[in-house]
Amino acid sequence: MVDIIERFTRMPAIAVNESTIIKPDTIYMLPPAKELIIDGDTLIPLDRKPKYGSLSLPINTFFKSLAMSWQEHAIGIILSGTGSDGSVGAVEINRVGGLVLAETPETAQFDGMPQNAIKTHCVDAVLDPEKMQDTLLKFAEDPVGFKNQTEDTNRNYDDGTTGILGILNLLKKNFNIDFSDYKPDTITRRIERRVKLSFNGETLDEYLIRISSDEKELNLLYRDLLIGVTRFFRDPEAFRILKERVIPEIISNTDKGQEIRIWDAGCSTGEEAYSIAILFHEELQRQNKRNTLKILATDIHEESLQVASEGIYPVEAFSEFPNNLLKDYFEPIGDSHYKVLPLLRQSIIFSRHNLLKDPPFTRIDLVSCRNLLIYLLPAAQTKAIATFHYSLRINGALLLGASESLGNLSEEFETVDRQWKIYMKRKQSRLPY
């Protein structure tokens, strides 16, 4: 590849065989039998570890590290190729506010990778390769948004019919969601980024006019604002603690005939709900108990819930899935997908539910709500935690995202693991709801 690439450019192409500090105007190549990650300015090659079968997903591995290291400055581009490597990593880049581009499938010699990336709904623009440079330059000028792009951004929109507020009101009308509980900087930045990356150089008001009649773009904006990111057994260490310290206690304290109830709030496309269900099924078998398991998996994005309900995922989604569990809970569909088996699917009810507006569930043994609270204003975060406290039984567990906290309600819970934000409700108290 190094020899081939150097025929087409004056830039040096280098195979990264050892840790390398990146330099401008240089192409870095992945050597055979290696994976590559980036940490700050340093590229680090790793020996490829055997994962699921012979499947290797080096682009996902690199994109994930790129998102973690460079946050909203990260850029991922999916060009011609077979399979769907890069799709999971593209979701991670999108989640942190970076830029994701995909080649127009019609121009790709092999359209599998661009098509699969596009299906994640996390691609900011689908472009012919020769048209990507303008978008890259726009993004590089101001990665975090649209701050100096037009006067419209800084205007006051008191009447709610134009600009940012007009867009939010349109979303509220079409999807019945009030973004006033979300951090305004995050919401504004994501709206302005989509406007800035539009093909026509639109202002905010022109974009508002377009999405008023463009249902597809309105839905993509809605999904982008919700920042729904999940995958099977995401953060394996958190799931290890659930498996070893939390779930066995919940099941052992459950009386014969009593239903075990789980609430997965903000379930997105369902991977986390299925992961939790598997751990409970495994522990029920280990303890030889026959209690009914009911997982209430909720979200406010209908398309994500539809994906979750179908329970069909590409084979690449199982790259970090424990091999010994795959055959017990999923069945292959052709060579490219797996579908959840009825044994697991019947444990989960996927439904639309607004955590901040709809009545809470009750008699819950475990609440999982990861990486949703960080996008909410402090008052909304407190309300959500109070809702979870109300829902949980005594000795029920709460799992939050690694960057989230209990805030001023920390005294209402006992800490199980501080790093992975796992807590236990040990007392019943009447919190103001």
pLDDT tens, 96-128?
A: 888 899 999 999 999 889 998 888 878 888 899
Domain identity same for 258 and 205:
no
Residue 39 has pLDDT above 60, yes or no: yes
Domain identity same for 120 and 241:
no
| Tokens of residue 175, six digits | 């999807």
Domain identity same for 308 and 384:
yes
- The b-or-e profile of 264-275 (16+ CB within 10 A means b, else e) is bbbbbbbbbbbb
- Report the domain count for the chain: 3
pLDDT tens profile 355-412:
998 999 999 999 999 988 888 888 899 999 999 999 999 999 999 988 888 888 888 8
Domain identity same for 86 and 206:
no
Domain boundary among 207, 226, 245: 226
**Of 65-74, 270-279, 343-352, the least confident:** 65-74
Assign 7 to helix, strand or coil: coil
Domain identity same for 156 and 132:
no
Q: What is the mean pLDDT of the chain?
A: 86
> Residue 153 — pLDDT band, cuts 50, 70, 90?
very low
Domain extent at residue 268: 236-424
Domain identity same for 120 and 34:
yes
Domain identity same for 207 and 249:
no
> Residue 33 — pLDDT band, cuts 50, 70, 90?
confident
Q: What is the DSSP string of 307-364?
A: HHHHTEEEGGGGTTS-HHHHHHHEEEETTTEEEE-HHHHTTEEEEE--TTTSPPP-SE
Residue 373 has, within 13 A of its CA and on its CB side, a CA count of: 25
Domain identity same for 317 and 217:
no
Q: How much is the average pLDDT of 151-173?
A: 65
Residue 250 has pLDDT above 90, yes or no: yes
**Of 52-66, 200-214, 331-345, the least confident:** 52-66
Handedness of CA 198, 201, 204, 205 (dihedral sign): negative
Domain identity same for 178 and 127:
no
State residue 157's pLDDT score: 37
Domain identity same for 276 and 419:
yes
Q: How much is the average pLDDT of 416-427?
A: 89
